[in-house]
């Protein structure tokens, strides 16, 4: 046990030790942390659906009708009417031939990627892709080539020098989770066509939020085809839990037979499925459009105020607004200062982001009001001056 104690000591010494924070009550724009109300600025519940009455009522009705568990994996006896209904709903929303549920985004990426690529194939992965994409790629045993973030000429070069007789799989996030910038989807679609590669987009942070209809990064760019595998999560803007892939019928059929995290895991329970169905209806409604509009207004107010104050919000183009700090100790001091000011923001450190690029990761919600944002801008600006960030 001494070795673990030693490891923890060294994490603490490097400013990289992590701890969970306990929240009481619901996930809202203000939450109770250690018995005290604080403004929540680090949740992915972007549209505020996590405690929406329609989702809660749907979950309760789902339990009343179907119970609390699916009791088995999908290919055994764990496929219920709600799984089928939700998959149809997702495919209709995304405009694809089919959709398939996974138990989480992590499970989706570690299941989909090894199913699509293996020995002899090459995976081209944006350097800033989420840990679950990296883990899925490593698990696949395909050759892994990481390209510099959003650098299309570099990707082109790397595809050219990494010849293969097998498959090429290009993977990107739609909205990068720690930087809040967008993938270069039109260029990626062109490259994928030129080199006859498969293109997979993880839109965990874009789906529900971007585009007039909330279809995500693809709608933002007006891309109607060319993305073979669209992955998204249900625990972020959709306020529920789980994940999906939207793709052609053939790819979905193949994944049912080959994605191990799908095959060997008990399926999502009725409450989660019913809440997710209600979430898609909501996101797809005029109320959803209203929430997206409110979120966009909040984001531009918040980000332009921080930029005017001289802060570096990196490449942010979305509701994810990083504030560049640099070193781990300083970012932790910054988030501690903000907590004392009644603001809950996480400092992001390696291995989540590259060394030297520690940042506060602020996430904006549709349910923040002007007073919330003004309080946040004021506290962040004062903290940045106090800690010498500006
Ligand atoms: C959150 C996230 C995941 C994981 O999704 P979970 O449902 O939370 O497991 C995958 N990819 C990206 C880009 C994410 O941000």
Ligand 1 centroid to Cα of residue 233, in Å, is 6
Closest Cα partner for 30 from 272, 341, 367?
367
HEC readout, 185-201: HHHHHHHHHHCCCEEEE
Ligand 1 atom nearest to 130, measured from its CA = 13
Closest Cα partner for 136 from 121, 158, 157, 155?
121
pLDDT score at 248: 98
- Could you give the CA distance from residue 222 to residue 83 in angstroms, rounded to a whole number? 29
Strands 358-363 and 346-348: antiparallel
- And the tokens for 173? 């996030």
Q: Is the CB of 177 under 6 A from ligand 1?
A: yes
Residue for token pair 């005017």: 308
Query: Which stretch of DSSP H or E encloses residue 145?
Result: strand 143-147
Instruction: Indicate which residue's Cα is closest to atom 10 of ligand 1.
Output: 105
Residue of 46, 102, 105 best suited for mutating to test ligand 1, as the one with most atoms within 8 Å of CB: 105
- Considering the candidates 52, 94, 130, 205, report the single residue annotated as catalytic: 205
Tabulate helix, strand, coil % of the chain (nearest 5): 45, 20, 40
**Beta-bridge partners for 40:** 344
pLDDT score at 2: 87
> 335 an active-site residue?
no
Ligand 1 centroid to Cα of residue 237, in Å, is 12
**Mean confidence (pLDDT) of the chain:** 97
Ligand 1 centroid to Cα of residue 234, in Å, is 9
Ligand 1 centroid to Cα of residue 162, in Å, is 28
- Considering the candidates 236, 240, 357, 368, report the single residue annotated as catalytic: 236
Query: Per-residue pLDDT tens for 19-40?
Result: 999 999 999 999 999 899 999 9
Q: Is the CB of 104 under 6 A from ligand 1?
A: yes
> 193 an active-site residue?
no
Q: Is the CB of 173 under 6 A from ligand 1?
A: yes
Ligand 1 atom nearest to 176, measured from its CA = 13
The residue ranges of the chain whose pLDDT is under 50 are none
- Could you give the CA distance from residue 339 to residue 17 in angstroms, rounded to a whole number? 18
The CATH code belonging to domain 53-283 is 3.40.640.10
Q: Is the CB of 233 under 6 A from ligand 1?
A: yes
Ligand 1 atom nearest to 107, measured from its CA = 9
pLDDT score at 269: 98
pLDDT score at 15: 87
- Could you give the CA distance from residue 282 to residue 334 in angstroms, rounded to a whole number? 37
pLDDT score at 374: 98
Q: Is the CB of 110 under 6 A from ligand 1?
A: no
Q: Is the CB of 243 under 6 A from ligand 1?
A: yes
Q: Are 219 and 77 within 8 A, CB to CB?
A: no
pLDDT score at 224: 81
Closest Cα partner for 126 from 171, 191, 188, 192?
171
- Could you give the CA distance from residue 366 to residue 128 in angstroms, rounded to a whole number? 26
What pTM, to 2 d.p., does this model score?
A: 0.97
Query: Per-residue pLDDT tens for 314-360?
Result: 999 999 999 999 999 999 999 999 999 999 999 999 999 999 999 99
Q: Is the CB of 318 under 6 A from ligand 1?
A: no
Alpha-carbon dihedral 58, 59, 62, 64, rounded to 10 degrees: -110
Helix and strand counts by DSSP (H, E) for the chain: 14, 14
Chain centre distance of CA 79: 26
- Could you give the CA distance from residue 323 to residue 311 in angstroms, rounded to a whole number? 7
Q: Are 93 and 85 within 8 A, CB to CB?
A: no
Show me where the domains of the chain are located.
Answer: 20-46+285-386, 53-283
Q: Cβ atoms within 10 A of the Cβ of 223, count?
A: 16
Q: Are 379 and 338 within 8 A, CB to CB?
A: yes
Burial of 174 (0-12, 13-18, 19+ CB in 10 A): buried
- Could you give the CA distance from residue 201 to residue 16 in angstroms, rounded to a whole number? 30
Q: Are 59 and 272 within 8 A, CB to CB?
A: yes
Half-sphere exposure of 163 (CA within 13 A, CB side): 0
- Residue 49 DSSP one-character state: G
**Beta-bridge partners for 30:** 39
Between vectors from CA 103 to CA 100 and to CA 107, what angle results, nearest 5°? 95
CATH class of the domain whose range is 20-46+285-386: alpha beta
Q: Is the CB of 200 under 6 A from ligand 1?
A: no
Chain centre distance of CA 128: 12
> 300 an active-site residue?
no
- Could you give the CA distance from residue 140 to residue 171 in angstroms, rounded to a whole number? 13
């Amino acid at each position: 046990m001494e070795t673990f104690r030693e490891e923890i000591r060294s994490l603490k010494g490097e400013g990289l030790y992590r701890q969970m924070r306990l929240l009481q009550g619901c996930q809202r724009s203000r939450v109770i942390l250690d018995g005290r109300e604080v403004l929540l600025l680090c949740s992915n519940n972007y549209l505020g659906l996590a405690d929406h009455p329609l989702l809660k009522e749907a979950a309760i009705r789902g339990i009343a009708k179907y119970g609390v568990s699916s009791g088995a994996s999908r290919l055994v006896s764990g496929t219920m009417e709600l799984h089928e209904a939700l998959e149809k709903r997702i495919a209709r929303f995304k405009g694809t031939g089919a959709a398939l549920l996974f138990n989480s985004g992590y499970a989706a990426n570690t299941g989909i990627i090894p199913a699509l690529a293996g020995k002899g194939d090459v995976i081209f992965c944006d350097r800033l892709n989420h840990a679950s994409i990296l883990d899925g790629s490593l698990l696949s045993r395909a050759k892994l080539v990481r390209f510099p973030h959003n650098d299309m000429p570099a990707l082109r070069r790397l595809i050219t020098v990494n010849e293969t007789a097998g498959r090429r799989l290009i993977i990107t996030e739609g909205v990068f989770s720690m930087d809040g910038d967008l993938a270069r989807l039109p260029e990626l679609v062109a490259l994928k066509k030129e080199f006859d590669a498969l293109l997979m987009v993880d839109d965990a942070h874009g789906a529900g939020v971007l585009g007039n209809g909330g279809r995500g990064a693809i709608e933002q760019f007006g891309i109607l085809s060319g993305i073979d595998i669209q992955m998204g999560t249900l625990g972020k803007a959709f306020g529920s839990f789980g994940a999906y892939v939207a793709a052609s019928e053939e790819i979905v059929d193949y994944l049912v037979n080959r994605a191990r995290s799908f095959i060997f895991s008990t399926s999502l329970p009725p409450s989660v499925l019913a809440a997710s169905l209600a979430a898609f209806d909501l996101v797809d409604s005029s109320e959803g459009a209203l929430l997206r509009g409110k979120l966009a207004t909040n984001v531009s107010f918040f980000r332009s105020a921080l930029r005017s104050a001289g802060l570096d919000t990196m490449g942010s183009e979305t509701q994810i607004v990083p504030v560049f700090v640099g070193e781990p100790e300083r970012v932790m001091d910054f988030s501690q200062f903000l907590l004392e000011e009644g603001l809950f923001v996480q400092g992001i450190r390696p291995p989540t982001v590259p060394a030297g690029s520690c940042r506060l990761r602020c996430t904006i919600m549709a349910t923040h009001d002007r007073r919330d944002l003004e309080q946040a801008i004021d506290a962040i600006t004062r903290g940045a001056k106090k800690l010498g960030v500006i």
